[in-house]
Amino acid sequence: MEKIAGVKSILVVCMGNICRSTTAEAVLREKLKQSKLKIKVDSAGTTGYHKGDKPDPRAIRIAEEKGYKFKGIRSRKVADKDFVKCDLILASDKKNLAYLEKHCPAEHAHKLALFLPVGGVEREEIPDPYYGSVQGFKQVLEMIEQASDTIIERLKV
């Protein structure tokens, strides 16, 4: 298993920062806490449509049923400073990764990756559940949980 070297902070990115990335933030925070790894986790969106909003209520409900907490998580747009201060920046899908690649200074491009492949999940992208049913939010949570476990194992190696 390949190690993710020297990571002290992770940023998870999706489009609106109210479904996928906020769920990943909540899951990673809890799993990192349980594994006793001291790594800061944040999330952001490539758009500012929902700036300051809480995560989608469906995402909160599904994840809280499994013990994850969204306290203090609010939507925000990716900022230039994120590329400097974050050690690992994980995009939910290829479209958001392309946005990050376009805006990221060259000296920080090595920090960018897709969330699922880094997490060892066969799929490349986390589907956006926003316009779908609650089942989509459940599927996204399961994918994020599985990938988060692998990410944490890679951080520990």
**Annotated active-site positions, please?**
14, 20, 128
CA 90 from chain centre, in angstroms, equals 6
Q: Which two structure tokens, joined as six digits, stand for 96? A: 């958001």
The span from the CA of 27 to the CA of 24, in Å, is 5
Instruction: Write down the H helix ranges in the chain.
Output: 20-35, 57-64, 80-85, 94-103, 115-118, 134-156
